[in-house]
Amino acid sequence: MKSLKAQGHILSDTRQQLKILDHNDMIPFQQKLGSIRLFPLKPKGIEIFQVNIGKMCNQTCRHCHVDAGPDRKEIMTRDTMQQCMDVLKLYPQMKIVDITGGAPEMNPDFRWFVEEIKKHDRHIMVRCNLTIILANQKYYNLPQFYKQHGIELISSLPFYTQDRTDRQRGNGVFEDSIKVLQLLNNEGYGIEGSGLVLNLVYNPAGAFLPPAQQALQKEYKQRLKEKYGILFNELYTITNMPINRYLDYLINSGNYERYMDKLIAAFNPAAAQNVMCRNTISVGWDGYLYDCDFNQMLELKVDCPAKHITQFDTSTLNKRSIIIGQHCYGCTAGSGSSCGGATA
């Protein structure tokens, strides 16, 4: 399967995606926020510095909001990583660095970047898709590298069964993911008292909202332990965002309007208070700044003069209004959704 970009798909033009999201008779997200006095949406400060170091990935998952894949060549250069480091040194209040992709490990400067960040004593989270560790010999020692640097791992496992995982992420992904989870457990990841955190991510296989996070976590823990002896820390349930390949899926399957109606009907004011853009800044592979990873994928740069990492300035960024749109309903439905799971 190719990325939308490699297919020359009409949705690879983000303006087309925004046109679809905006042109309907659904209640504007802005109006919903206004009804709970949250518009304009303002940041509370920047605690999490999320860096997307490239769109290249060894997988081409059907629901990918990044439109990542082996055919994507956009990756962050070491110069841009250095600019990120310069910013981190200036702002110690940004205690958490969240490294994402694509498969971030495919960036040849990934390990250098991690080591540099560690010198400045920040907590690092890496969004590791698991299978990358078996994709090539050069990645086989990643579990030891992660352990050495105390990296927190956040890894997608859309379900605890093979059929549902492979349908969404590709043939053989479940089997490889299980092998890698066992390897990580052997290193101490997910084991109580080790201090090595391994969190898993669930996202729905179709056009529906995730179930309750706590109940599903219990189910995952039971099933993965019984069948494969696997342990992990927390399960994050994440709502699929109606952008990129998931938007393509919704339209092709005739589910788009029904799904948007579901998201809107499930609008939760408590989740809206806690949307992740209020305490996170997202850096793109080319150094541009975004309110979140989703706005990044829709190419909606922050609405303030500090648009690039070279212009980073928290006082300017903290005064900005966050750019919102109909896709934001994905963050506020039900128990809410963020890179760290449910928010309400």
Residues near ligand SF4 (CB under 6 A) are: 57, 59-61, 64, 66, 68-69, 101-103, 129, 275-277, 291-292, 294-295, 322, 324, 327-328, 331
> Taking the complex as a whole, how short is the minimal distance between the CB of residue 32 and ligand SF4, in angstroms?
11
Nearer to ligand SF4, 185 or 203 (CB): 203
Nearer to ligand SF4, 83 or 332 (CB): 332
Closest to 20 in 3D by CA, of 8, 10, 5: 10
The whole-angstrom separation of Cα 271 and Cα 259 is 18
> Taking the complex as a whole, how short is the minimal distance between the CB of residue 262 and ligand SF4, in angstroms?
16
Q: Which alpha helices (DSSP H) does 254-323 contain, by range?
A: 256-265, 269-273, 293-297, 314-319
The whole-angstrom separation of Cα 149 and Cα 146 is 5
Nearer to ligand SF4, 4 or 328 (CB): 328
The whole-angstrom separation of Cα 193 and Cα 196 is 8
Nearer to ligand SF4, 287 or 325 (CB): 325
> Taking the complex as a whole, how short is the minimal distance between the CB of residue 20 and ligand SF4, in angstroms?
16
Nearer to ligand SF4, 220 or 329 (CB): 329
> Taking the complex as a whole, how short is the minimal distance between the CB of residue 89 and ligand SF4, in angstroms?
26
Three-state secondary structure readout of 21-84: HHCCCCCCHHHHHHHCCCCCCCCCCCCEEEEECECECCCCCCCCCCCCECCCCCECCHHHHHHH
The whole-angstrom separation of Cα 11 and Cα 5 is 8
The whole-angstrom separation of Cα 24 and Cα 242 is 14
Residue 26: both structure tokens together: 């659904």
> Taking the complex as a whole, how short is the minimal distance between the CB of residue 328 and ligand SF4, in angstroms?
3
> Taking the complex as a whole, how short is the minimal distance between the CB of residue 217 and ligand SF4, in angstroms?
20
Nearer to ligand SF4, 17 or 129 (CB): 129
> Taking the complex as a whole, how short is the minimal distance between the CB of residue 64 and ligand SF4, in angstroms?
3
> Taking the complex as a whole, how short is the minimal distance between the CB of residue 155 and ligand SF4, in angstroms?
9
Nearer to ligand SF4, 138 or 192 (CB): 138
Give the bridge partners for 60, in sequence order: none
Cβ–Cβ < 8 Å for 330, 241: yes
First to last CA, the chain: 36
User: How far from chain centre, in Å, is Cα 117?
Assistant: 20
Nearer to ligand SF4, 86 or 286 (CB): 286
Cβ–Cβ < 8 Å for 265, 280: no
